[in-house]
Amino acid sequence: MTPNYLGLRKAHFRTTLKAWFRGLDQAIVAIVAVLQFILTALVTMVVVGLAHALGLLASPGTSLAVRAAVACGWLAVSYVLLRSVREAAFMPRARGFFDNLPIAPAQKLRADLLLAALSYSFLWLPVAWVLADPLGASPVTPSTVTAVLGLVAISLCVNIALLRGARLPAAAALLALLVFACIGGDGAAAQIARIGCAAVAAWALCQSYLPGRSRIAARTRPHPLWERLALGSGLVTALLTHELRNNLLVRAGAILATLGACLAVMQLRTNDASSASVVAFVAAVAALALYSLPALCRNTLMAHLGFLAGQPAFANRMRLAAYAIPVALFTLAIACAWSFDRSGRAGLDAGVFAVLFVLGVAGARLGWRAVSWLMPFSTMIGLIILAAMT
């Protein structure tokens, strides 16, 4: 088992991510195509901003408050990212089973570190930007390297220990991070001190892998109210909470990111953007992100509990919730965007994409394969026409 442990973890990581992103491939491609320029500007702004913040760690003129803010901000962002992929990266449900097998702690630590590093995904972009310095804004010194890589290493140790339930090692690594944030300057002594903090955090993480040190969270019985809600919705709410939670979060995240990008562009553009149609962009992304959700809910539930299809009352509850939840999310997205829209034709924009959304839901439910490309194409054409009217 030991030589294949890492391969098993990698296979679980890939399989789980594929299940989470099921049905999102065409939508993501369409969103990127529709919002190509906005997404490029937003991603560049985020990467450069994070890279600038990381570069402040080794700057001699940076105050303690700024260094602490950078360290805490990086830890918070990285923890949220790792927490969102916890099931895929750390397999918490199977930890008790693996603890009873003769697997060396070093194998578990190696797998967790590798998959956690992979889960950092886009966070490696600002790190690479600082270390490569493509614009030549400031020279890359050894102090910069130790500061940036030290922060990344300590954040990995803190996050992994927290997600494994190892409180004392996590507290020790967090203390090392606080000391790390207090170290200023770019001299040799500062570099040695940063390396020492990273070594302490690594030692604390290794201690959490010793037998009997990690804790597994106990399962709790769901609240009776939640059980009634799950049954009343035909298990759709339970399905969205457990099986499709991350899939739904990606869809909702794309909508929120679009709204944020529109507001950021309106604030940062030098020319007048007060008449920009926020509703058009948000409604387009919401239609693309949510139109396949009812069919996905139904297909997933029937794949797990197909025998329920023969019970009319239960099937009706499932059908109602499967359509009502995406419609509610689509309506909420338009309502949020409407409050920021200044184009004067928000009703027209919302109506056009509402019609496309309804047609996409119907086509996906009927299993029309053409919907997977016709829906993105129609949405892109509608957005181009409506944006040109601004």
Q: Transcribe 285-352 into DSSP letters.
A: HHHHHHTTHHHHHHHHHHHH-GGGGG-HHHHHHHHHHHHHHHHHHHHHHHHHHHTT--SS-HHHHHHH
Res. 197: pLDDT tops 90: yes
Q: How far apart are CA 148 and CA 306, in angstroms?
A: 51
- Compute the half-sphere exposure of residue 154: CA atoms within 13 Å on the CB side of its CA: 30
Highest mean pLDDT of the ranges 156-160, 234-238, 248-252, 300-304? 156-160
Q: How far apart are CA 64 and CA 364, in angstroms?
A: 54
Mean pLDDT of the chain: 78
Q: How far apart are CA 30 and CA 33, in angstroms?
A: 5
- The pLDDT score that the predictor gives to residue 209 is 84
Mean pLDDT in residue range 312-322: 69
- The pLDDT score that the predictor gives to residue 242 is 64
Q: Which of 170-174, 228-232, 300-304 has the lowest mean pLDDT?
A: 228-232
Res. 309: pLDDT tops 60: no
φ, ψ of residue 236 to 5 degrees: the values are: -70, -40
Top pLDDT among 239 and 350 is at 350
Which one, of 260, 267, 322, lies nearest residue 294 by Cα?
322
Top pLDDT among 253 and 280 is at 280
Q: Which of 189-193, 220-224, 312-316, 355-359 has the lowest mean pLDDT?
A: 220-224
- The pLDDT score that the predictor gives to residue 374 is 80
Mean pLDDT in residue range 183-191: 82
> Which residue type is seen at 318?
M
CA dihedral sign, ordered 101, 107, 109, 110: negative
- Contact predicate 286/334, CB 8 Å: yes
Confidence tier at 48 by pLDDT (50, 70, 90): confident
- The pLDDT score that the predictor gives to residue 172 is 92
Helices (H), the chain: 5-20, 25-34, 36-55, 64-84, 86-90, 95-99, 105-119, 124-132, 142-163, 167-182, 188-207, 224-232, 236-241, 245-268, 278-290, 293-304, 312-338, 346-366, 371-388
- The pLDDT score that the predictor gives to residue 95 is 76
pTM for the model: 0.65
Question: Percent of the chain, pLDDT > 90?
Answer: 11
Top pLDDT among 372 and 70 is at 70
Top pLDDT among 271 and 186 is at 186
DSSP-assigned letters across all residues of 161-191: HHHTT-HHHHHHHHHHHHHHHH--SSSHHHH
Q: Could you tell me what percentage of the chain is helix, strand and coil, using 3-state DSSP and rounding each to the nearest 5?
A: 80, 0, 20
- The pLDDT score that the predictor gives to residue 294 is 82
For residue 271 the two structure tokens come to 């020319």
Highest mean pLDDT of the ranges 73-77, 212-216, 235-239? 73-77
| pLDDT digits 0-9 by tens, 11-35 | 888 887 777 666 565 566 666 665 6
Mean pLDDT in residue range 41-55: 74
Residue with tokens 């058009």: 280
Q: How far apart are CA 277 and CA 349, in angstroms?
A: 8
Top pLDDT among 184 and 110 is at 110
| pLDDT digits 0-9 by tens, 211-227 | 654 444 445 555 566 55
Residue with tokens 């991070």: 177
